[in-house]
Amino acid sequence: MKIKLLFLNLLLIFLLVACSDQTTEKTHEVDYIVATLNGKDITTREIISQFSLNDENIEYYLKQEIVIDEATNAGATVSKAYIKELKEILYPNAESVEMEKFNVKEADALGMTNDEYFDMWSLTYLERNEYFQTYIKSKFGEPASFEESEEWGKEIESYINNLYESYIKDQKLIIH
């Protein structure tokens, strides 16, 4: 079980790290509306709360939002108390992160210190991750072995890409 959870976390971290740091032209404003998902506007501020602002990260964030939307529609809930507890376990005093280098650009864009940004980022990241994992587990279970995990990951990626395209086609997601 631990290997399966570790793999899912590594998959999410891989997707996070794979994204570059180039800013798009249209998103210099912090409150620019990037997209609308089921009538709710998604701004650059929300994306900056998790990622550097670039086209890849915007798409990745929107895909996460769709999965979170699907999870909440299916009845998934994540308690704030659990997220705070998880944060204390995973990021005690931010020791596992070099705070002086942690997303300085994003913290500045949001008018926060690095510590404030990290606190906000970690709570938001963990909450989003819990919804994401809950949904993925409900749809795909977990790989039976480490050897099966690559194929499992590809199946999940394909599913999310198809879900993203269907949201756009059905105009549940409107990209501005």
| pLDDT tens per residue, range 93-133 | 765 566 667 778 899 889 998 889 988 999 999 999 999 99
pLDDT of residue 10 exceeding 50, the answer is: no
Q: Is position 46 within any domain?
A: yes
Q: What is the pLDDT at residue 4?
A: 46
Look at residue 84 and tell me whether its pLDDT is greater than 70: yes
Q: Is residue 103 part of a domain?
A: no
Residue 100 falls within a domain, yes or no? no
Measured CA to CA, the distance from residue 66 to residue 55 in angstroms comes to 17
pLDDT at residue 30 in the model: 83
Q: Outline where the chain has alpha helix (H).
A: 2-17, 44-48, 55-73, 80-90, 104-109, 114-140, 149-169
Kindly indicate the confidence band of residue 22, based on its pLDDT and cuts at 50, 70 and 90. very low
In a domain, 116, yes or no: no
> pTM of this prediction?
0.80
Residue 81 confidence (pLDDT):
95
Distance CA(133)–CA(141), nearest Å, equals: 10
Using DSSP's 3-state secondary structure scheme, residue 140 falls into helix
Q: Is the pLDDT of residue 176 over 90?
A: yes
The Cα–Cα gap between 155 and 141 comes to 12
Residue 110 in domain: no
- Considering its fold, how many domains does the chain have in total? 1
Instruction: Give the domain extent around 133.
Output: 2-18+29-79+121-175
Q: Is the pLDDT of residue 7 over 80?
A: no
